[in-house]
Amino acid sequence: MAPFDLDACIAQLLRKQLLHEALLREICAKTKEVLMRESNVVHVSAPVTVVGDIHGIGGYAPHTNYLFLGDYVDRGLFSVETISLLTCLKLRWPDRVQLIRGNHESRAVTQTYGFYTECVRKYGGSHVWTYFTDMFDFLTLSVVIDDRIFCVHGGLSPSIHSIDQIKVVDRFRGASCYYARDHAQLTHCAEIPHEGPMADLVWSDPDPEKEDFAISPRGAGYTFGSGVVYKFLETNKMSHILRAHQLCMEGYTSLFDEHLSTVWSAPNYCYRCGNSASILEVGPGGSMFFNVFQAAPENERDGPSHQTAQNAGGKLPEYFL
């Protein structure tokens, strides 16, 4: 295949125009080569703009170094465009864009919560879903900003006490997995395991009422309390834990005397929650500013009611096809 123009791809996606299936196959393959070289713990320097859960709600990326904390797909109507854009941004600026794996970056979850169905609807088959979910297997598990802020999608694990233990997790050898549609095993698959440190990093949640670890009501990962947070920070000589994974009505929350923050970047989640969203700007001097925003007007215009009306009329906009 001839070399592709990433800047043109990014511009096309920002116009809500899908990329060709063959082009996405090539982009995902190239991105896997980049991700494969990254550690489970990527170290970056501030300033960094940090983005929490997006869930298929697109937008313009800030012109700075930026870190995305996972959950790029599912639930929103533009998961394909969103992950296509993020993948192109990562490939275009591999050292400036960091993508952490979230619990929705898996085959099992995306077949339940919308991404699989969206890929089939927009491309007429599951190939694009396969390209992206294969690429998800290569996403890093965590990022450390300025050697003092630990960033992860979900939270902590009773199996992990130090950053060095995360570095030796084999993220390329996850649980055995199957295509749920036909039960054909994927021998190369690195699906997120149901338990263990990798699962905990993407599934766990803080609990302000607890001190230690406890069983999570999610059915995967753990809840963890203040004692766990303070011990992890002390052991690793860090000052803050930054994560996503939980809806925050105000766009973000801070717990444990502001030693842990949750960033949520999907406004009006599922087109009905009415929540604010935020992105976090981490400055080189340790400053942290949450930039809170509301859903853009086009999110309502392009939301479920618009889609239903277009379906009823028998015609969809070009970017839905």
- Beta pairing, strands 260-263 & 185-191: unpaired
Percentage of the chain with pLDDT > 70? 85
Residue owning tokens 């859903």: 295
* pLDDT at residue 174 in the model: 57
* pLDDT at residue 172 in the model: 87
In the numeric block, which tokens belong to residue 229?
A: 């947070």
Q: What single string gives the DSSP state of each residue in 45-90? A: -S-EEEE-B-SS---PPPSS-EEE-S--SSSSTTHHHHHHHHHHHH
Q: Which residues of the chain have pLDDT under 50?
A: 1, 176, 178-187, 309-321
Dist. CA 84–CA 242, nearest whole Å: 25
Closest CA to 145 of 32, 288, 297, 312: 288
Residue owning tokens 């630990």: 150
Dist. CA 155–CA 223, nearest whole Å: 8
* pLDDT at residue 31 in the model: 97
The fold of 6-312 is Purple Acid Phosphatase; chain A, domain 2 (3.60.21)
Catalytic amino acids? 104
Our measurement of the distance from residue 291's CA atom to the centroid of its chain's CA atoms, rounded to an integer in Å, reads 19
- Beta pairing, strands 41-44 & 142-145: parallel
Dist. CA 172–CA 188, nearest whole Å: 9
- Do the Cβ atoms of 75 and 275 come closer than 8 Å? no
State how far the alpha carbon of 161 is from the alpha carbons of 111, 200, 301, in Å: 33, 13, 46
Dist. CA 208–CA 225, nearest whole Å: 6
Looking at residue 275, its amino acid is: N
* pLDDT at residue 317 in the model: 31
Ranges of beta strands (E only) in 74-199 are 97-99, 142-145, 149-152, 175-178, 185-191
- Residue ranges per structural domain of the chain: 6-312
